[in-house]
Amino acid sequence: MVPFIYGSTATPISKKDNPSDPSHTHKWSVYVRGVNGEDLSFCIKRVTIKLHESFAVPTRVIESPPFEVTETGWGEFEIMIKISFVDSNERPVTLYHQLQLYPKDEAAIQAQGKKPVIINHYEELVFNEPT
Ligand SMILES: O=C(Nc1ccc(C(=O)N2CC(c3nccs3)C2)s1)[C@@H]1CCCN1
C-alpha cells in the first residue's frame, strides 16, 4: 500500500499580484503527492488534472513530479484528478476534489487575511498482487 495526499492550497491575492486579470482573487495549487513529500514516480506514471472548461488548456497532463497544477482564479469548482500507474496492469484511479478558496467557518472568513486554505485528502493506493 502507498499512502498519498491529494488536495489544494488556495491563497488570496491582491489585484497588483495579477494585473492581467483583476477578477482573479486567489492563487491556488491542486496536487497529488507523497505523505512526507516522497516522490511517487516509482509507481505513478502520470497525473491528469481536469480543470473547469473556462481555463486555458483545461486538461493538464503531468508526467513527472511535482504532480500539481498552479493557477489563479475567482471561484470554487470540482476538479477531476486521474492517476495512471507505471504498472499498466493497474487500472487508473479517478478522484474528484472540490476546490475551496474560502474557509467554511464564518469566523475564519473574517480572520482569513492572507492565510491559505489547505484541503488535503489522505488516501492509500492498493496494488494487485502479481499473479
Ligand atoms: O466559481 C465557479 N466556477 C468557476 C469556473 C472557473 C473559475 C475561475 O476561477 N476561472 C476561470 C479562469 C479564467 N479567467 C479568465 C479567463 S478563464 C479563472 S470559477 C462556480 C460558479 C458558482 C460557484 N462556483
Mutate which of 30, 69, 74 for ligand 1 pocket (most atoms within 8 A of beta carbon): 74
The complex scores an ipTM of 0.96
Indicate if ligand 1 lies below 6 Å from the C-beta of 52: yes
Indicate if ligand 1 lies below 6 Å from the C-beta of 7: no
For residue 24, give the C-alpha cell: 482573479
What pLDDT does residue 84 have? 98
Question: What's the CA-to-centroid distance between 61 and ligand 1, angstroms?
Answer: 20
Tell the burial category of 110 from Cβ atoms under 10 Å away from its Cβ (0-12, 13-18, 19+): exposed
> What are the 10-residue block averages of pLDDT along the chain, 131 residues in total?
97 84 94 96 98 98 98 97 97 98 88 91 93 81
Q: What is the reported pTM?
A: 0.94
